[in-house]
């Protein structure tokens, strides 16, 4: 079994890099692919994608071609929506879509790239795995819609617009739907596990700086728990 852990930033991968012995195998553009050594029963890779949809798409294409993983676990931080989550919580994305794509004039759904799916829904198998996880101490787990935009969610008016358009959204990031779109071409599942570093529109940039390490740590802990279940089942 080949598992890829992908995150946008060095800080989001730091807990993983501090836990494994690694060998760098690809560096191209913003993409850094490292193989975890000394894995007896499965293959594990870390991928730093760079921030934003274009970087994430380029990394996803490269890793799907070179690694050909069985699953991509997209992790790191995200901005949560007020009333849905708290800082430090972890959201499992069961549905992904874009919040900054609008081709509704051509009868596409809001968030839908023309000629592509309107959203990317996680297979029920993965939802059942999420539901089987024990509740952690110190933070809460959530599951639901995560939206993706090439905008950090700091402007309150933009946050309000996105939340009105996607009332079920739990969180927003800048990479996950792009990775899912590319992985969809290769029929590779993408599991999204995001720690909440800030609440969208409420001093989001300051909160991100203050809580990024906590969000990354909690996402790391949940990712490791998921991997242990996958390995046990396979």
Residue 106 burial (CB < 10 Å; 0-12/13-18/19+)?
exposed
- Give the residue numbers marked as catalytic: 12, 198
CA 121, distance to chain mean position in Å, is 13
Average pLDDT over residues 37-53: 93
DSSP strands (E only) in 101-189: 120-121, 141-148, 169-173
pLDDT digits (tens, 9 = 90+) for 102-139: 999 999 999 999 999 999 999 888 888 888 888 899 99
- The CATH number that applies at residue 21 is 3.40.50.1580
* CA Rg value for the chain: 17
State whether residue 108 is helix, strand or coil.
coil
Per-residue confidence band for 41, with pLDDT thresholds at 50, 70 and 90 = confident
Task: Quote the CA–CA distance of 91 and 33 in Å, as a whole number.
Answer: 25
Domain residue limits at 214:
2-233
Taking all residues of the chain, what is their mean pLDDT, rounded to a whole number?
A: 94
pLDDT > 90? residue 2: yes
Average pLDDT over residues 4-12: 97
pLDDT score of 69 = 97
Cβ atoms within 10 Å, residue 69 = 24
69: alpha, beta or left, given left = phi > 0 and alpha = psi -120 to 50? beta
- The closest alpha carbon to 58, from 223, 181, 152, belongs to 181
Instruction: Give me the number of domains the chain comprises.
Output: 1
């Amino acid at each position: 079994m080949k598992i890829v852990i992908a995150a946008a930033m060095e800080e989001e991968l730091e807990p993983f890099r501090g836990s494994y012995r690694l060998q760098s195998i690809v560096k191209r553009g913003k993409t850094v692919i490292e193989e975890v050594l000394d894995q007896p029963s499965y293959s594990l890779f870390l991928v730093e994608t760079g921030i934003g949809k274009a970087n994430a798409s380029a990394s996803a294409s490269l890793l799907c071609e070179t690694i050909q993983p069985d699953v991509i676990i997209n992790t790191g931080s995200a901005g949560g929506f007020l009333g849905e989550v708290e800082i430090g919580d972890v959201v499992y994305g069961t549905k992904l879509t874009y919040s900054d794509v609008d081709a509704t004039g051509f009868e596409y759904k809001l968030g839908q790239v023309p000629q592509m799916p309107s959203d990317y829904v996680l297979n029920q198998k993965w939802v059942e795995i999420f539901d089987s996880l024990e509740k952690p101490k110190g933070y809460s787990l959530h599951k639901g819609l995560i939206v993706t935009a090439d905008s950090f969610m700091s402007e309150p008016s933009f946050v309000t617009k996105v939340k009105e358009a996607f009332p079920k959204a739990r969180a927003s990031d800048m990479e996950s739907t792009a990775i899912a779109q590319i992985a969809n071409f290769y029929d590779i599942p993408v599991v999204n596990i995001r720690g909440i570093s800030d609440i969208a529109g409420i001093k989001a940039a300051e909160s991100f700086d203050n809580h990024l390490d906590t969000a990354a740590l909690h996402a790391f802990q949940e990712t490791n728990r998921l991997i242990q279940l996958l390995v046990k089942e396979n």
